[in-house]
Amino acid sequence: YLRMIIHKISLKNFGRLDDFSAEMTGNTVGLEGKNGRGKSTVLQAIRYALTGTLDDTASSYMRDGGKHGKTSVEMEFTQKGVQGRIVRSITASSSSRKLYLDGATDPITTAKEVDLKMQELLGADQRAIAGCVFVPQGKIDEVLFGDNTEREDRFQRMLGMSHYSNIVRAVDAQIGVLNSGVADLSGSEQELE
């Protein structure tokens, strides 16, 4: 059950935003603005902070191809009673991450350790978080009011259960193959003398 509180997010040269910072003080936060102002960029930055994953290459998120220096996302949060701060950075030749928990001065910095700690805190893997953090612009109505298939797919991704759906589809396909090879001979009984 994901109930993270995001206290602050800061972006530097991330996507279309050169320098953005927001403190989030309410229980519900909404992003409002005209098209092309960076709403989706902020959502992608939150996803990147949580999971370290992006929809495209890291260099595509560097403002103007990195001409403005290092790209970074910093987010302060509380999850499961743990205070955290994650900083993820991208340069032309590398990426880095620093995870500070409960006021620690020495961060966790290896990709594997940061990913494991974030997965532990969030209670879900990167794919599940990616599915619940970012809903493409114009698609929220489908998630909220769409057919059951869309909602079911979204919840399966949020809970990291999409692999179960793949198993069910494979089993159903195999049952179909088996059923097509079975002949019902009950109507052709013959008496043996």
Per-residue model confidence (pLDDT) at position 11: 95
Residue that is written with structure tokens 């003080």 in the block: 25
Residue pLDDT, tens place only, 6-42? 999 999 999 888 899 999 887 666 777 788 888 888 8
Average pLDDT of the chain?
79
For residue 83, CA distances in Å to 23, 57, 148, 153, 167 come to 15, 30, 37, 32, 38
Supply the DSSP string of 16-58, one letter for each residue.
TEEEEEEE--SSS------TTSSHHHHHHHHHHHHHS--SS-G
108 or 137: which carries more pLDDT confidence? 108
Task: Decide if 49 contacts 24 (C-beta within 8 A).
Answer: no
Per-residue model confidence (pLDDT) at position 9: 95
How many Å apart are CA 13 and CA 191, to the nearest integer?
85
Residue pLDDT, tens place only, 76-115? 999 888 999 999 999 888 889 999 999 889 999 999 999 9
